[in-house]
C-alpha cells in the first residue's frame, strides 16, 4: 500500500439557486473520481488550468473539505472514516505552503513566535520550555537556510524568498506526514524560484518528505516532481513518471499544455 492513496475521490458542490424549480439540483464536480497514489518520500506534481479542481482536491485530502464520496488513506489509515474530533489532530499531519508567504504569515508575529507556536501544536508540553523551543526554532531555521540570529524579526523584514523559507519552516514545525505546496513559487522572481525548488528537493532527500506540489507551470513541475498528474475538469487525465509524461504524453490536454511551454515540442 502506498503512503497516500486516493480512491475514486469526489467533491461536488451544489450550484447556488439550482433545484428551486425542479427536483434535481445541479452540482459543480470540482473533484470527480480521482484515484492516485503517492509513495513515501516522493513528490507528486499536480498540474492543470485554473478551476480544474487542484485546490479542492488538496482541501479534500486534508479533510478541510468533506468528500462527497471515495476514500483518502494516509499511512494505512482511512481518514474518511474518522470522527470529527479525531480529524482535528490528524490535520497536523498535513501542512500547506501557499503562493504568497506574506499573506500566510502573521505580520505581528516574530519568526520565533510563528515557529514556536507551530512546534507546540504537536508538542503542547513545550509551551513553557523556552530553552528547548529556542533550540528547535534555531534548528528549523537552519534547515531552511535561514540565520537563526534573525528569529526575533518580523516577516516584513525579510525578502520574498526568505519569507517563503519561513513559511516552509512553519510547515515543517508540526512534523507533518505530507506537505501540500499550492503554487509555492509562482509569486517569486525566477532566480528565487529555483532556490526554493532546490530547498524543497533537499528537504525531500534529507528528511524523506512526501509532497504534493501544485502548479499550473509544467516546466516547474517537471523540475521537482517524481510523478506528474494532469488534472482537467475534476479528473486526472494523465498520470505517470515525470519524464514519461513529458516525452510521451498520451492525453490530448497534456499535449496542449506541453505545446504551450516555450521552446517545447511534445513530439521532440
Ligand X SMILES: Nc1ncnc2c1ncn2[C@@H]1O[C@H](COP(=O)(O)OP(=O)(O)OP(=O)(O)O)[C@@H](O)[C@H]1O
Q: Residue numbers of the site for ligand X (CB under 6 A)?
A: 13, 28, 30, 48, 50-56, 216
Question: Which residues, numbered 40-69, are part of the site for Mg ion (CB under 5 A)?
Answer: 55
- Contact between 244 and 251 under an 8 Å Cβ cutoff? The reply is no
Cβ closest to Mg ion, residue 58 vs residue 63: 58
User: Phi and psi (nearest 5°) for 144?
Assistant: -100, 10
Note whether 11 binds Mg ion by CB under 5 A.
no
Cβ closest to ligand X, residue 50 vs residue 125: 50
Q: Kindly state the smallest distance separating residue 6's Cβ from ligand X, in Å.
A: 15
Q: Kindly state the smallest distance separating residue 227's Cβ from ligand X, in Å.
A: 18
| Region for 189 from its dihedrals, namely left if φ exceeds 0, alpha if ψ lies in -120 to 50, beta otherwise | beta
- Which of ligand X, Mg ion, none interacts with 53 (beta carbon under 5 to 8 A by kind)? ligand X
Q: Which three cell numbers stand for residue 205?
A: 532527500
- Which of Mg ion, ligand X, none interacts with 70 (beta carbon under 5 to 8 A by kind)? none
- Which of ligand X, Mg ion, none interacts with 97 (beta carbon under 5 to 8 A by kind)? none
Cβ closest to ligand X, residue 48 vs residue 174: 48
Q: Which three cell numbers stand for residue 259?
A: 505545446
* Residue 104 CB contacts under 8 Å (≥ 6 apart), including other chains: 98, 167
Task: Identify any residues that bridge with 72 across adjacent strands, giving them in sequence order.
Answer: 6
- The helices-and-strands tally (H runs, E runs) of the chain is 10, 10
Cβ closest to ligand X, residue 140 vs residue 211: 211
Cβ closest to Mg ion, residue 111 vs residue 184: 184
Longest dimension (CA), the chain: 64
Residues lying near Mg ion in the complex (CB under 5 A) are found at: 55
Amino acid at each position: 500500500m502506498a503512503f497516500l492513496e486516493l480512491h475514486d475521490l469526489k467533491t461536488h458542490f451544489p450550484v447556488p439557486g439550482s433545484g428551486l424549480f425542479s427536483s434535481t439540483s445541479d452540482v459543480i464536480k470540482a473533484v470527480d473520481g480521482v484515484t492516485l497514489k503517492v509513495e513515501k518520500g516522493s513528490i507528486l506534481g499536480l498540474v492543470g488550468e485554473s478551476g480544474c479542481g487542484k485546490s479542492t482536491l488538496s482541501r479534500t485530502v486534508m479533510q478541510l473539505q468533506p468528500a462527497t464520496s471515495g476514500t483518502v488513506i494516509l499511512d494505512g489509515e482511512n481518514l474518511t472514516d474518522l470522527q470529527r474530533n479525531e480529524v482535528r489532530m490528524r490535520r497536523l499531519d498535513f501542512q500547506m505552503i501557499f503562493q504568497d508567504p506574506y499573506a500566510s504569515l502573521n505580520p505581528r508575529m516574530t519568526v520565533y513566535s510563528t515557529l514556536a507556536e507551530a512546534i507546540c501544536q504537536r508538542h503542547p508540553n513545550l509551551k513553557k520550555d523556552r530553552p528547548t523551543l529556542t533550540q528547535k526554532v534555531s534548528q528549523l531555521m537552519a534547515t531552511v537556510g535561514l540565520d537563526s540570529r534573525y528569529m526575533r524579526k518580523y516577516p516584513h523584514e525579510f525578502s520574498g524568498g526568505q519569507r517563503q523559507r519561513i513559511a516552509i519552516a512553519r510547515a515543517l514545525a508540526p512534523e507533518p506526514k505530507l506537505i501540500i505546496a499550492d503554487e509555492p513559487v509562482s509569486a517569486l522572481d525566477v532566480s528565487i524560484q529555483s532556490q526554493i525548488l532546490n530547498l524543497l528537493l533537499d528537504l525531500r532527500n534529507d528528511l524523506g518528505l512526501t509532497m504534493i506540489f501544485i502548479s499550473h507551470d509544467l516546466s516547474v513541475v517537471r523540475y521537482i516532481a517524481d510523478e506528474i498528474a494532469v488534472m482537467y475538469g475534476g479528473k486526472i487525465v494523465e498520470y505517470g513518471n515525470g519524464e514519461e509524461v513529458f516525452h510521451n504524453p498520451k492525453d490530448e490536454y497534456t499535449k496542449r499544455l506541453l505545446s504551450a511551454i516555450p521552446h517545447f515540442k511534445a513530439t521532440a
